[in-house]
Chain A
Amino acid sequence: MRRFFLKLFRRSAMQQQIEAELAFHRDMAARHDNAIPLGNTAVIGEYGYDLWRFTFLENLWRDLVYGARGLRRSPVLVLTALLSLGLGIGVNAAMFSLGVEFLFSEPSVRDAGSLVSVQLGGNSNSPAQVADFLRSSGLFADVTGEDEEAVTNFNDGDVTRPVFSVYTAKNYFTMLGVPMLHGRGILIDDPNEVAVLSYAFWQKQFGSDPAAVGRTLNLNGRMCTVVGILPEHHRTLIGFGYSPDVFLPQYLETTTLALYARLKPGMSIPAARVGLAAVARRMDAEMPAHYKYADAVRVSPIAGFARLQSESEMLAVGVFFALLLAVTGLVLLIACVNVASLLLARASSRRREIATRLALGASRGRLLQQLLAESLLLSLLGAAMGVALAEATAVLLARVHLPMPIPIRLQIEPDWRLAIYAAVLTTFAALACGLLPAWQSMKQSLIQDLRRESRMRLRRTLVAAQIAVSVIVLTTGFLFLRNLLDSTAISPGFDVLHTVRANVNMPPVGYADPAKKDEYIHRVVDSLAALPGVESAAAARVVPFNGGERFMVGIVFADNREQRHAFFFWNGVTPGYFHTMGIPLLQGRTFSAADHGEKVVIVNRAFVAHYLGNRRPVGTVFLWGADGKTPYRIIGVAEGTKTLTIGEEPQPQLYEPLAQIVNDRQGIEFVMRSAIPPALQLETVRRTLHKIEPMAGAQVNTMYSSIGLAFLPSQVGALLMGSTGLLGLLLATIGLYGVMAYSVARRTREIGVRIAIGASRAAIARMVLRDSALVTIAGTAIGLAVALFVTKPLAMFLVPGLKPADPLNFAAVALAMLLTGLAATLGPVRRAVNIDPNATLRDE
């Protein structure tokens, strides 16, 4: 350290000092009759300078300057290299940023590390009283809650439309410490009629006017005062870029909240879990519900790596991104091989220079350093271009409104993680591009005989390897494209082509009473069914792929008192639901208006298989309900439907008649079966709904477009992997073209002689083509063999029925590769065929 600073601050004066000191010594020696013999002062001086220099860094700088000068003379090489490396590093940086945002982004709150998500009784949401109970228990520093997936009817004075919103406990903003752009968060003493707006909603509705704070909005028929605006880069607790439009205080008794707690300083998560279990048991004793709070207690971190470990669904996303990074890493490798191949060609022209340097006594390490500086320069420029490219893409993506049913805005910004990743990539690229050519050119300067033939062979091997790698990348891309095609062809278990879906949000004013809701629902179902062209209509709490209510409860069979823990998706539907949705009933009957008194349910095939054992399903009675003693009779068995993702196997499902349950939700789904194309019904349905209740917000879509979310994972997968695969293919094409073009240029004389002594043009073309085909086929064969193994783990992302080792997929990849190889060779072939023998011989 001391040395470092001495060197840093005193080096500039050193040169003169050293010379003066040595001169003084010589004078003194002369005066004393040369008592001390003189050495070689030049050498001593050199030694002195070296002591005072940062030799390595200064050499590096000189090498970089030298490299830059050399590269300026070969603009084509630089352009190709920068394009390859820029694209390669760019795609890596982009996917990395995306992955980091998805997996590791922290919500915009104070000290996210001490926040945990709390779940009781296996439920994602709990009533507000539970939050109060937890807070007063003193286990946590504070507790708050939000209903994160709520919808509010927003009336802009003209039309009513549903907006995504979050209902919060009133201490939400203060407890979390959410930073605000304008105004303030909701405070505990605020009335219920206040709202905080998202940046995007503020921009759209108020044109980014700061004076919006204090204005009022008609939300759910109540005039709410805007108290604050969130910053543009606000990240919600859910993450994944979910950005709802408005935040409101929870004002309905029935709203249930996802709970968040702040740990007391020093409290670990396991300790919190133990404490929470004790509190939950007390809760079960003091305020019993229809489930046991203490049954499945969860305390999980909300951010960072810890969240990844605690949530299995996050793990799949993590694996996907790891895979994506591996594939983009391979693309970068292809790009590096391109550059290596170019540098290798260049090395032959530098043979003499390197031989001279070696002869003059340059150490091999020093020479290697010089040669690597060149590739470092290229990778630095490539990285700069790549990161710029990635950022431009991210900015562009952020502007584009994603065609999704829920508002997603990813906040991708360059940060230190990206900087580190880019630095690692650059170093890797510099070594991958430079090491082989540098080593080769040094070796060959010593062994002159091997020269060109072996270098050409090396380049061919490199290209074959490159093709092999692109086959792997392409196979992955093709697999995800196939997955997309196959998943759209999969039946979700209900009719999506002839159905219309209307998601209606009843205004809480006037519809708080469940009886009022039921009455409204009946009226709508009847009116919709009466529309011309509508075969039947029904209502349901949820439709598949738009969320599901999952229950984990204990049920007891009435026949032998057997107790089972059942885990199923629960839905409440009107009798016409199964017919309207085209869900086949396998046994028994559907609900009827006459189902009074006795509670009845319809279950699906998976429920029967999982829980009923050998019982005859229809007629089986089990005990369940808030008290655990109400008998429920199974009256029918339906075919299963997919609920969350298109690729899944149907999970156990249980339907109750809508009339049999307490309708505590403002939202309701209507489905219609249409005899005419469903798109033509949308306007009529909207008008009908508006006529019945103008204050209700409604979203009316064909079923096909409204389940779009279900295809999102396969679409995103296909988009990312497919474009990466294409990029890999493009880069490999450039590589093959470069090698073939170089090979033809090198053999110009030979080909000229062949033509002069009578070889036909066809024979020449065949010769070049054979050359390229050899490389392409060898590379493809190796690539396919490797891909067969490495794509195996992809099965977890693919729809059932599609296997990674799909022969059709491999055939398509091989064909694409061979065609690309042919295309890359056409230019060089044309040049070879057009070689003028006279000109070449004259050069001789």
Chain B
Amino acid sequence: MGKSTQPTLLQGTLDLLILHALQRGAMHGYAVAQTIHLLSDEVLKVEEGSLYPALWRLELDGAITSKSGLSENNRKAKFYQITRHGRKLVAEQEATWSRLSAAVGRVLGG
């Protein structure tokens, strides 16, 4: 196996990414993965095995809700939508994240 150039996600950032993606509007799980993939300039790939457990957990926690709807190709799919509580979480976590990344940047850059 060759050395992986695929950066692995830091613990806890997946939730943030999912919530962030969902701020753009309701979408199904596959679209969430795609959105994250595209927004990261195709650097981040979210595996099904982490994506869905994370979505279900967030739903149980009340950060997102779900309802069924029709996908772009007219198939029945489960659409996730961010809640008020979810938006609050995003704001908090984004602030934390930017503080953290700035700090890491300073350490590496300095």
Chain A residue with Cβ nearest B52 = A44
Contact of A24 among B33, B37, B77 (CB under 8 A): B77
* Contacts A17-B78, A25-B30, A28-B30 given; does A37 touch B53 at CB 8 Å: no
Chain A residues near B34 (CB, 8 Å)?
32, 35-36
Chain B residue with Cβ nearest A32 = B34
**A39 at the A/B interface (Cβ < 8 Å)?**
yes
Q: Are B49 and A44 in contact (CB under 8 A)?
A: yes
Chain B residues near A22 (CB, 8 Å)?
48, 52
Contact of A51 among B30, B33, B47, B60 (CB under 8 A): B60
Q: Are A25 and B53 in contact (CB under 8 A)?
A: no
Contact of A25 among B48, B60, B62, B76 (CB under 8 A): B48
Q: Are B49 and A39 in contact (CB under 8 A)?
A: yes
Chain A residues near B78 (CB, 8 Å)?
17, 20-21, 24
CA distance A3 to B60 in the complex (A): 6
Question: Per-residue 0/1 for A19-53: is the Cβ within 8 Å of any B Cβ (1 yes, 0 no)?
Answer: 01110111111011001111111011001100110
**B75 at the A/B interface (Cβ < 8 Å)?**
yes
Q: Are B75 and A24 in contact (CB under 8 A)?
A: yes
Chain A residue with Cβ nearest B30 = A28
CB of A117 to closest CB in B, whole Å: 56
Interface residues of B in 9-68 (CB under 8 A from A): 28-30, 33-34, 37, 45-50, 52-53, 56-57, 59-62
Chain A residue with Cβ nearest B72 = A28
CA distance A28 to B73 in the complex (A): 10
Instruction: Point out which of A17, A24, A40 has the most chain B C-beta atoms below 10 A from its C-beta.
Output: A24
CA distance A305 to B67 in the complex (A): 56
CB of B4 to closest CB in A, whole Å: 12
CB of A11 to closest CB in B, whole Å: 11
Chain A residues near B52 (CB, 8 Å)?
18, 21-22, 25, 44, 48
Chain B residues near A35 (CB, 8 Å)?
34, 37
Q: Are B45 and A36 in contact (CB under 8 A)?
A: yes
Interface residues of B in 62-103 (CB under 8 A from A): 62, 71, 73, 75-78
Chain B: interface secondary structure? helix
Q: Are B33 and A36 in contact (CB under 8 A)?
A: yes
CA distance A44 to B50 in the complex (A): 8
Chain A residue with Cβ nearest B47 = A39
**A561 at the A/B interface (Cβ < 8 Å)?**
no
**A420 at the A/B interface (Cβ < 8 Å)?**
no
* Contacts A6-B60, A24-B30 given; does A36 touch B53 at CB 8 Å: no
CB of A18 to closest CB in B, whole Å: 8
Q: Are A37 and B60 in contact (CB under 8 A)?
A: no
Interface size of A by CB at 8 A reads: 30
CB of B74 to closest CB in A, whole Å: 12
Chain A residues near B37 (CB, 8 Å)?
35-36
CB of B92 to closest CB in A, whole Å: 19
Q: Are B62 and A2 in contact (CB under 8 A)?
A: yes
* Contacts A6-B60, A24-B77, A48-B56 given; does A36 touch B49 at CB 8 Å: no
CB of A51 to closest CB in B, whole Å: 5
Chain B residue with Cβ nearest A43 = B49
CA distance A18 to B78 in the complex (A): 10
Chain A residue with Cβ nearest B85 = A2
Chain A residues near B47 (CB, 8 Å)?
36-37, 39
CB of B100 to closest CB in A, whole Å: 27
Q: Are A48 and B28 in contact (CB under 8 A)?
A: no
Chain B residue with Cβ nearest A7 = B60
Chain A residue with Cβ nearest B42 = A35
Chain A residues near B71 (CB, 8 Å)?
24, 28
Instruction: Point out which of A2, A36, A43, A48 has the most chain B C-beta atoms below 10 A from its C-beta.
Output: A36
Chain B residues near A6 (CB, 8 Å)?
59-60
Contact of B48 among A17, A20, A27, A41 (CB under 8 A): A41
CA distance A462 to B34 in the complex (A): 65
CB of A153 to closest CB in B, whole Å: 77
Q: Are A48 and B53 in contact (CB under 8 A)?
A: yes
Chain A residues near B28 (CB, 8 Å)?
24
CB of B27 to closest CB in A, whole Å: 12
Chain A residues near B30 (CB, 8 Å)?
24-25, 28-29, 36
CA distance A31 to B31 in the complex (A): 13
Instruction: Point out which of A32, A37, A40, A52 has the most chain B C-beta atoms below 10 A from its C-beta.
Output: A37
Interface residues of A in 1-19 (CB under 8 A from B): 2-3, 6-7, 17-18
* Contacts A3-B60, A51-B60 given; does A21 touch B49 at CB 8 Å: no
Q: Are A51 and B48 in contact (CB under 8 A)?
A: no
Chain B residues near A20 (CB, 8 Å)?
76, 78
Q: Are A40 and B49 in contact (CB under 8 A)?
A: yes
CB of A831 to closest CB in B, whole Å: 60
Chain B residue with Cβ nearest A26 = B48
Chain B residues near A43 (CB, 8 Å)?
49
CA distance A72 to B31 in the complex (A): 54
Chain A residues near B50 (CB, 8 Å)?
39
Q: Are B29 and A21 in contact (CB under 8 A)?
A: yes
Chain B residues near A48 (CB, 8 Å)?
52-53, 56
Contact of B56 among A31, A38, A51 (CB under 8 A): A51
CB of B23 to closest CB in A, whole Å: 21
Chain A residues near B76 (CB, 8 Å)?
20, 24
Known: A36-B33, A44-B48, A52-B56. 20 other contacts (CB 8 A): A6-B60, A17-B78, A21-B78, A22-B48, A24-B29, A24-B76, A24-B77, A25-B48, A25-B52, A26-B48, A35-B34, A36-B34, A36-B45, A36-B46, A36-B48, A39-B47, A39-B49, A47-B53, A51-B53, A52-B60
User: Could you list some 23 contacts between A and B, CB below 8 A?
Assistant: A2-B62, A3-B61, A20-B78, A21-B77, A21-B78, A24-B28, A24-B71, A25-B30, A28-B71, A36-B34, A36-B45, A36-B47, A37-B45, A39-B47, A39-B48, A39-B49, A43-B49, A48-B53, A48-B56, A51-B56, A51-B57, A51-B60, A52-B60
Q: Which 7 A-B pairs have the closest CB atoms?
A: A39-B49, A28-B30, A39-B48, A47-B53, A25-B30, A21-B78, A24-B77
